[in-house]
Amino acid sequence: MMRSILAGLTEFALTLVVVAAVILAVLVPVALSQPDAGEVLRLFLLGPFGTMRHVGNILELATPTMLTGLAATLIFRAGSFNLGIEGSFFVGGIAATAAALLLPLTGFIAAPTAIIVGALFGSLACMVPGYLKVRFGASEMVNSLVLNFAFLYAGVFILNYFLRDPNAGALMSYRLPADFGLDRIMQGTRLHTGVIVAFAACIIGGIWLYGTRGGLNLRIVGLGPGFAQHLGLNTSALIMRAQIAGGLIAGMAGAIEVLGLYNRFSWVALPGHGWTGITVAILARENPFLVIPAALFLAYLQVGGDMLARNLAVPSEVVGLVTAAIMLAVTATAIFRHPAFLRLIRDIKGEEQAA
Amino acid sequence: MIEAIWNNLTDPALFATVLRVMTPLLLAALGVLISDRAGVLNIGMEGMMLSGALVGVLASAWTGIPFVGLLAAIACGALLGALMAGAINGLGTHFIITGIALNLAAASATTLGLYLATGDKGMSGALQSGVLPSLHIPLVRDMPILGPMLSGHHMLTYAAILSVPVVSIMLARTPFGLHIRAVGADAKAAATAGVSRNRTQLYALMLSGVFGGAAGAYLSMGYVSWFAQNMTAGRGFIAIAAEVMGMGTAWGTFAAAAVLGIAETTAITMQALGLPNELMQMIPYIVPVIVLTVYAARRQAKARAHS
């Protein structure tokens, strides 16, 4: 037991080293282009921990991506490459807005109701490609890629024709009633109660995946659909359930993001948190528990990037490059499946069996 | 209303519009096709197009020569293809994740590049970049009826259409095409026969990037002379759908790009008639889903009939 934990830690340490190397590889050239290179590195790496307000910003940014990361984890675990999470997130946001503007609710049930509506409608964007895959065998990846945009334009249509406030300057919805807003929980930041939901969801997701029969079945299906079938598992139903669950969570994430941060809905493009969720899931090695630190880490990078943009003439887009490079580096089998590394892991684990 | 739509759809100028709209899709889809046949479906096409669009504008603005812009865009696409191949076969990353990473990186890098070049993150309006020309074919253009149909289109439109038979023959009849198909079908068997997967996929992805870069240049230098943040707006993804609709052949891809071009043109026409333009914008994204589902359903029915 101890040794397998040690083996896990070794892999984690290697991940940390690789990620650190990637950050430095992108950041050092940027830093050298500035008059004070040390200041760039200090601001980016330590700045986000400088004040409680910045720590609050990290949590605030990690809230949506923890949830989309969890959604991506469940879907990937089922062995499918459904990229509808981005669409689900967007639809969740607009559906929650519609619910808040149209449902005559007040008091403490208002916000949860809107979040549930957001989750239900949001799940469609993952459910449709998932269903077409399970029922007809159509590629869920290609379908979800293009359907994301179909859902985007459908949402913008609803915004423009039904929810638009003509008195607002730009294309945005009417003001959301205050009862639908989520409570702010930290002075000076926009951190809201949604962050608690995000933490709880990841922990529940982890317990479910590793501690229940349903989670075990899902992992078996993802690892080998043929084998799962031989065991008598209903693979189609299991895969479908994972797509729906992923869609519900991503839709919920969109709803929470809108109700927690904004008083009007104004997305007219895909916000990108779904894609970040995919990066989070990959970085977390598709483990719901690790989704929490992975999302926090990417949020930390983003806050560091924002601080560079605000204080020095370094645009925050640098973070996008770092994120993309991390995505490649942590999935590089040449590093993590290198014979020397595998031998090391085996040695650490192997002594356990001998002992 | 119906009559108005019909009149618009039968307008001869519409043919030109369809060609104009389908050009970037066709170029990009042919690029995706080459990568797919080599076993590394290029999800990064969107990012390649976006990068090509920016690099084209920058190079054309700096040199004052639009053709240099086009060449730079193509070179940029090929370079990104080489980087993808390096990641996939050198680092051992999954090709889908590699493509997603390229898209993420390109979205950031183009905004960054635009900002560094112009001080603006949204548009390249401040740069004096050029427009690639349309071609008027002598003799042909004077022919009645056929003249206006065949002549006067954009040079990249001709290039895209001529690429269809070229890619088709390349894949079917050249040693390089055979290597691509062999590696795509079974990399191990190909290796046994002495065909290097690494090298073949490198060239295939670079060629894919050439098409992606040209498609990007068409967007920023075809009819307009500016680059805007995220100006590809998912066209790279539609191109992937077009390639899958085309069932792995160049002519099939051409047909699919034409269908999607007609769908988008219909959408533009109906917007002009006052139909909600957001709903019309959905059309090019829904058509591929329907077509792919019908294909899959038919394949499934056939498989059942055989068993």
Q: Which of A272-276, A351-355, B280-284, B298-302 has the lowest mean pLDDT?
A: A351-355
List CB contacts (< 8 A) between A329 and chain B.
Answer: 91
At residue B7, the pLDDT reads 66
Q: What angle do the packed helices B45-63 and B95-118 form, to 10 degrees?
A: 30
b/e map A114-143, b = 16+ CB within 10 Å: bbbbbbbbbbbbbbbbbbbbbebebbbbbb
Among B282, B283, B287, B290, most A C-beta atoms within 10 A, so best to mutate, is B282
Report pLDDT digits (tens) over A160-170: 999 888 888 88
A282 inside 8 A of chain B by CB: yes
Query: Using alpha carbons only, what angle is made at residue A82 by residues A76 and A83, rounded to the nearest 5 degrees?
Result: 110
8 Å CB contact of B279 and A139: no
Residue with tokens 């989750």: A119
At residue A93, the pLDDT reads 96
> In this predicted model, which residue has the larger pLDDT, A25 or B83?
B83
C-alpha distances (whole Å) from A162 to each of A39, A95, A118, B91, B228 are 49, 12, 17, 49, 29
Minimal CA separation from B153 to chain A, in Å: 28
Residue with tokens 């808040």: A100
At residue B177, the pLDDT reads 93
Nearest to A145 among B98, B108, B240 (CB): B240
Q: How confident is the model at residue A255 (pLDDT cuts 50, 70, 90)?
A: very high
Nearest to A153 among B104, B282, B293 (CB): B282
Q: Are B57 and B221 in contact (CB under 8 A)?
A: yes
List CB contacts (< 8 A) between A147 and chain B.
Answer: 285-286, 289
Nearest to B293 among A132, A157, A327 (CB): A132
Nearest to B234 among A149, A161, A334 (CB): A149
> In this predicted model, which residue has the larger pLDDT, B142 or A175?
A175
A269 inside 8 A of chain B by CB: yes
Report pLDDT digits (tens) over A213-246: 999 999 999 888 888 888 888 889 999 999 999 9
Query: Is pLDDT above 50 for A355?
Result: no
Query: Is pLDDT above 70 for B208?
Result: yes
Question: For the residues A48-65, what does the mean pLDDT come to?
Answer: 90
Report pLDDT digits (tens) over A190-201: 889 999 999 999
Q: For residue A22, what are its two tokens?
A: 């990637």
Per-domain residue ranges of chain A = 60-283
Neighbours of A20 (CB within 10 A): 11
Among A142, A282, A341, most B C-beta atoms within 10 A, so best to mutate, is A142
The C-alpha atoms of residue A26 and residue A304 are separated, in whole angstroms, by: 14
Total number of domains in chain B: 1
At residue A311, the pLDDT reads 83
Do the interacting molecules here have an ipTM over 0.90?
no
Neighbours of B284 (CB within 10 A): 28
Report pLDDT digits (tens) over A271-314: 989 999 999 999 898 999 999 999 999 999 999 988 888 888 77
The C-alpha atoms of residue A148 and residue A86 are separated, in whole angstroms, by: 7
Neighbours of A165 (CB within 10 A): 16
Minimal CA separation from B277 to chain A, in Å: 8
Query: Is pLDDT above 60 for A354?
Result: no
> In this predicted model, which residue has the larger pLDDT, B49 or A334?
B49
Question: For the residues A55-84, what does the mean pLDDT come to?
Answer: 94
- Render A195-207 in DSSP notation, one character per residue: HHHHHHHHHHHHH
Percent of chain B with pLDDT over 90: 51
A348 inside 8 A of chain B by CB: no
Nearest to A147 among B104, B112, B289 (CB): B289
At A173, phi and psi to the nearest 5?
A: -80, 170
Q: How confident is the model at residue B248 (pLDDT cuts 50, 70, 90)?
A: confident
Do you know the residue count of chain B?
307
List CB contacts (< 8 A) between A160 and chain B.
Answer: 276, 278
Percent of chain A with pLDDT over 90: 48
Percent of chain B with pLDDT over 70: 93
8 Å CB contact of A145 and B92: no
Show the domain range for B249: 2-306
Query: Mean pLDDT in chain B?
Result: 88
One-letter amino acid for residue A153 of the chain: Y
Query: Is pLDDT above 80 for B287?
Result: yes
Minimal CA separation from B101 to chain A, in Å: 5
Q: Is B242 exposed, middle or buried (0-12, 13-18, 19+ CB in 10 A)?
A: buried
Nearest chain B alpha carbon to A143: B289
The C-alpha atoms of residue A40 and residue A63 are separated, in whole angstroms, by: 27
Q: Is B149 exposed, middle or buried (0-12, 13-18, 19+ CB in 10 A)?
A: middle
Neighbours of A112 (CB within 10 A): 15
Question: For the residues A44-67, what does the mean pLDDT come to?
Answer: 90
Query: Is pLDDT above 60 for B224?
Result: yes
Query: Using alpha carbons only, what angle is made at residue A347 by residues A343 and A352, rounded to the nearest 5 degrees?
Result: 150
Query: Is pLDDT above 60 for B253?
Result: yes
At residue A276, the pLDDT reads 92
One-letter amino acid for residue A271 of the chain: P
Terminal-to-terminal C-alpha distance of chain A: 12
Q: Among positive and negative, which fits the CA dihedral B69, B71, B49, B239?
A: positive
Nearest chain B alpha carbon to A130: B293
One-letter amino acid for residue A292 of the chain: I
DSSP letter (8 states) at residue B126 = T
8 Å CB contact of A132 and B296: yes
Query: Using alpha carbons only, what angle is made at residue B283 by residues A162 and A166, rounded to the nearest 5 degrees?
Result: 20
At residue A353, the pLDDT reads 54
The C-alpha atoms of residue B130 and residue A37 are separated, in whole angstroms, by: 37
DSSP letter (8 states) at residue B151 = S
> In this predicted model, which residue has the larger pLDDT, A188 or A267?
A267
Q: How confident is the model at residue A103 (pLDDT cuts 50, 70, 90)?
A: confident
Q: Which of A128-142, B52-66, B138-152, B164-178 has the lowest mean pLDDT?
A: B138-152
Q: For residue A295, what are its two tokens?
A: 């999302």
Helix (H, G, I), strand (E, B) or coil at A79: coil
At residue B145, the pLDDT reads 66
Q: How confident is the model at residue A72 (pLDDT cuts 50, 70, 90)?
A: very high
8 Å CB contact of A153 and B244: no
A154 inside 8 A of chain B by CB: yes
A112 inside 8 A of chain B by CB: no
In 3D space, the residue among A274, A222, A211 whose CA is nearest the CA of residue A66 turns out to be: A274
- Render A224-236 in DSSP notation, one character per residue: -HHHHHHTT--HH
The domain that holds B96 is classified in CATH as 1.10.3470
Q: How confident is the model at residue A337 (pLDDT cuts 50, 70, 90)?
A: confident
Question: For the residues B94-118, what does the mean pLDDT come to?
Answer: 91
Q: Among positive and negative, which fits the CA dihedral B52, B237, A277, A159?
A: positive
- Give every CB contact of residue A132 below 8 A, 6+ residues apart in sequence: A138, A140, A143, B289, B292, B293, B296
At residue A59, the pLDDT reads 94
The C-alpha atoms of residue A181 and residue A200 are separated, in whole angstroms, by: 20
8 Å CB contact of A150 and B289: yes
The C-alpha atoms of residue A116 and residue A239 are separated, in whole angstroms, by: 22
Minimal CA separation from A10 to chain B, in Å: 20
Neighbours of B64 (CB within 10 A): 12
Query: Is pLDDT above 90 for A86?
Result: yes
Nearest chain A alpha carbon to B280: A153
Neighbours of A248 (CB within 10 A): 22
The C-alpha atoms of residue A352 and residue A347 are separated, in whole angstroms, by: 9
Query: Mean pLDDT in chain A?
Result: 89
Question: For the residues A88-115, what does the mean pLDDT come to?
Answer: 92
8 Å CB contact of A132 and B101: no
C-alpha distances (whole Å) from A76 to each of A220, A252, A285, B73 are 12, 18, 10, 35
In 3D space, the residue among A49, A83, A16 whose CA is nearest the CA of residue A278 turns out to be: A83
Query: Using alpha carbons only, what angle is made at residue B67 by residues B66 and B68, rounded to the nearest 5 degrees?
Result: 90
At residue B26, the pLDDT reads 96
